[in-house]
Amino acid sequence: MTHRMILTPKEMEEVVLKRCWLARYWGLAARYGICSDIATSKYEYWSSLAPLPFEIVLSAGQKAKEESWEKDSEENEKRSQLVQDINDLTGEGNIESMLSVEMGLKELASLKVEVTISITLAQLRLANTFRLSDPELKSPGGPKLMEALECRQYLLFLRIILTSACLLFAELSPEESEDVLFKEAWLTYFWRRALSLGIDVDIARERLQFWISRSAHSPSSHDAMEVEQGLTELRKRRIERRLWEASRSNQ
């Protein structure tokens, strides 16, 4: 039983990437005044564990992309640098680390931080194109926005915002482009993990190739919608949870 308290290198990769997710989105929340009472302290905590969230996730996505053409015998060599980087950042790899990030992700989701950030970025882009007629909708914490979130219609709301942005102004802001690249790398990594562990193999192979192909061009408004839909699918299929279960059962 003792050996199951220790994470494998691949499990520790996931811990570090999830710390990166938490550091990134609490940092953006602090920047845009979302959950302002706790965002700064949350960002400081998670960024102390993952000081380079964007770079690490992009590196993981790139290595997952490369591995899709590598033979199994060559994978360890390709992964070695990322694993070393992870070990340098963490210095520990027990099961409490995974439980901690899972609790952090649940908190982030319950506060709807990620979707509020996505909507805020899209609204800021629209605001640079024309003056929004409804100041309540423009505000990240405005009553109408929060009402939409509370009604659990935030994905539909986000699609409407992003579709409008796509029609009005195809070029994403630098912040939005970075967010799309971050999420594309995330999706590439987790679908590669799903494929390697035999989870929804046909779908995983198709999604992996899809996200690899998307990373070959500069992000657009359409890509911003695609990554949100991709993340929704990942959650609906419980891929991250199933990865954990498969990894632990293989020990």
What is the C-alpha separation between 97 and 90, in angstroms, rounded?
A: 9
| Per-residue confidence in pLDDT tens, the chain, 251 aa | 345 678 888 899 999 999 999 999 999 999 999 999 999 999 999 999 999 999 999 999 999 988 765 544 344 444 444 545 554 454 467 888 999 999 999 999 999 999 899 888 877 877 666 554 445 444 554 555 555 555 545 565 666 555 555 545 557 888 989 999 999 999 999 999 999 999 999 999 999 999 999 887 889 888 888 999 999 999 999 999 999 889 888 75
Domain that holds residue 32: 2-113+173-249
Q: Does residue 241 form part of some domain?
A: yes
Q: What is the pTM of this model?
A: 0.80
Q: Does residue 120 form part of some domain?
A: no
Q: What is the CA radius of gyration of the chain?
A: 19
What is the C-alpha separation between 190 and 187, in angstroms, rounded?
A: 5
Domain count, the chain: 1
Residues making up the chain, counted from first to last: 251
Q: Does residue 223 form part of some domain?
A: yes
